[in-house]
Homo-oligomer: A and B are copies of this chain.
Amino acid sequence: MPGGEERLIERFFRPLVSDPGAFGLRDDAAAVTPPAGHDLVLTTDAVIEGVHFFPGDPAQAIAKKALRANLSDLAAKGAEPLGFLLTLAMPKSLDEEWIAAFADGLAADIKTFRCPLLGGDTDATPGLLSVSIAAFGTVPAGKMVRRAGAKSGDAIVVSGTLGDSALGLELRRDPELAKRAKLSVEEEAYLLERYLVPEPRTALTNALRKHAHAAMDISDGLAGDLAKLAAASGVSAKVDVAKLPLSAAARKLLQFDPKLIETICTGGDDYEVLAAISRNAFPAFEKEARESGVTLTEIGSAASGEDVAIKGTDGQTLCFKRPSFSHF
């Protein structure tokens, strides 16, 4: 007679599993044969209620955000997904309808991103809902795209648009902001969605591995993450705030309140790619990205030295109160 935990796994999670190495979630561990001549790339990211999402956010979105945060790391490292392990800590207040929706969200992304569920651990918690994922990818041996590797003279580029997710979070925290800033319904919905369900730039995986000297995903804000990339690479970096790619909705909010530039540059959850690339390689990189549907924008340059600066339109370096999203 299986316990409740077994029954939940059997009913909701087993249908998500197709990789034979997951043994139908009926063993203590999964077994996979990594492709010969490849390195494993390993990453882990968790999302916690009240930290990375709001209580009551849709279960599908929570599942997707948890998986996509990890897929974003793999993509920025040039790694193809191999699979993931899921740790779910669920308050007992969540019912089977919630679990079904969570599994639905996960199932959709497993398919979209071809990243199989390999195993997991499910616990009832007296605390808050949290979803921790460990994801594994592969790269040809020695080819993981590092944070270290940017060279003096490299172009600093980013994918997509920056700040949308952090502005979406602002809209959640200040429910009147959208109205005051005269955002359209679509603009508001766009920013809220960007916060809720990030878009990992998996389409860039191959191009990054081929062309980038260094890359990382922007999860703690451009300012802080650029500082990390520059420090790891031993270069300085100068970025021009006027070049930052912004969505129409973000532009409108920024026009309404110019101080939001700090939110855009230091808020979390962009899940865009930040990369350093030689100027010679940039056209080919940009073309490949465009062909896979991702826009790339050059926002600045790396040089010798160690300063990192985001320059305002007046040429002055922007100063932020809180240069990087940090939990502590």
Contacts and interface: CB of A to CB of B under 8 A. Distances in A.
Interface string A290-328: 000000000000000000000000000000001111111
B327 A44 contact: no
Contacts of A147: 23, 26-28
A89 interface: yes
Interface residues of A, number: 80
Interface string A228-268: 10001000000000000000000000000000000000000
A49 to B, nearest CB: 7
Contact of A40 (B40, B49, B52, B141): B40
A264 B41 CA distance: 41
Contacts of A41: 29-31
Interface string A48-86: 111110000000000000000000011011010001011
Interface stretch (A117-125, A179-187, A279-287): A117-125
B28 A126 contact: no
A48 B326 contact: no
The majority secondary structure among interface residues of chain A is mixed
Given A28-B77, A130-B130, A323-B3, A43 B141 contact: no
B327 A146 contact: no
Contacts of A118: 42
Query: How many copies of this chain?
Result: 2
Given A3-B323, A6-B326, A28 B124 contact: no
B124 A4 contact: no
A136 B323 contact: no
Contacts of A134: 44, 85, 87, 134
Nearest to A86: B44
A139 interface: yes
Contacts of A228: 6, 26
Contacts of A104: none
Contact of A28 (B36, B73, B136): B73
A32 interface: yes
A109 interface: no
B125 A51 contact: yes
A3 B224 contact: yes
A199 interface: no
